[in-house]
Structure 1
Amino acid sequence: MAEEVKLFGMWASPFSRRIEVALKLKGIQYEYIEEDLSNKSPSLLKYNPVHKKIPVLLHNGKPVAESLVILEYIDETWKHNPILPADPYEKAMARFWAKFLDEKLWPAAKKVVVSKGEEPKEVIEEIQEHLKTLESELKEKKFSGGESLGFVDIAANIIFWLLVVQETLGLDILTEDKFPGLHEWYQRLADDAVFKECVPRERLLGAFKVRFGALTASK
Structure 2
Amino acid sequence: MANNEVILLDFWPSMFGMRLRIALAEKEIKYENKEQDLWNKSPLLLQMNPIYKKVPVLIHNGKPICESIIGVEYIDEVWKDKAPLLPSDPYERAQARFWADYIDKKLYDSARKIWATKGEEQEAGKKDFIEVLKVLEGVLGDKPYFGGDNFGFVDIALIGFYTWFYAYETYGNFSTEAECPKFVSWAKRCMQRESVAKSLPDQHKVYEFIQWLRQKIGIE
Compute the TM-score of the two structures, normalised by the length of structure 1.
Answer: 0.90
Of stretches 67-76 and 159-168 in structure 1, the one that deviates more from structure 2 is: 159-168
Q: Name the SS of the counterpart of 1:28 in structure 2.
A: coil
Structure 1 contact 83–151 (Cα < 8 Å) conserved: yes
| Equivalences, count | 216
Q: Which position in structure 2 is the counterpart of 1:131?
A: 133
Q: Which position in structure 1 is the counterpart of 2:7?
A: 6
CA-CA distance at 1:117 after TM superposition? 7.6
Q: Which position in structure 2 is the counterpart of 1:66?
A: 67
Of stretches 24-33 and 160-169 in structure 1, the one that deviates more from structure 2 is: 160-169
- Which residue type is aligned with residue 164 of structure 1? Y
Q: Which position in structure 1 is the counterpart of 2:182?
A: 181
- Which residue type is aligned with residue 107 of structure 2? L
Matches within 5 A, 1:83-94: 83-94=85-96
Matches within 5 A, 1:115-130: 115=117, 119-130=121-132
Structure 1 stretches of 4+ moved >4 Å: 116-119, 209-212
- Which residue type is aligned with residue 104 of structure 1? K
State the distance in 2 between where 1:47 and 1:159 align.
25
Q: Name the SS of the counterpart of 2:45 in structure 1.
A: helix
Compute the TM-score of the two structures, normalised by the length of structure 2.
Answer: 0.90
Percentage identity across aligned positions?
Answer: 41
State the distance in 1 between where 2:45 and 2:213 align.
26
Structure 2 contact 21–199 (Cα < 8 Å) conserved: yes
- Which residue type is aligned with residue 134 of structure 1? L
- Match among 203, 208, 219 for residue 206 of structure 1: 208
CA-CA distance at 1:30 after TM superposition? 0.4
Structure 2 contact 113–125 (Cα < 8 Å) conserved: yes
- Match among 68, 78, 81 for residue 83 of structure 2: 81
Q: Which position in structure 2 is the counterpart of 1:38?
A: 39
Structure 1 contact 3–59 (Cα < 8 Å) conserved: yes
Is residue 46 of structure 2 the alignment partner of residue 55 of structure 1?
no
Q: Is the alpha carbon distance of 1:33 and 1:118 closer, same or farther for their aligned partners in structure 2, counting shifts above 3 Å?
A: farther
Q: Which position in structure 2 is the counterpart of 1:156?
A: 158
Q: Is the alpha carbon distance of 1:44 and 1:120 closer, same or farther for their aligned partners in structure 2, counting shifts above 3 Å?
A: closer
Structure 2, unmatched stretches of 5+, are: none
The CA RMSD over aligned residues, in Å, is 2.1
Structure 1, unmatched stretches of 5+, are: none
Q: Name the SS of the counterpart of 1:33 in structure 2.
A: strand
Is residue 91 of structure 2 the alignment partner of residue 104 of structure 1?
no
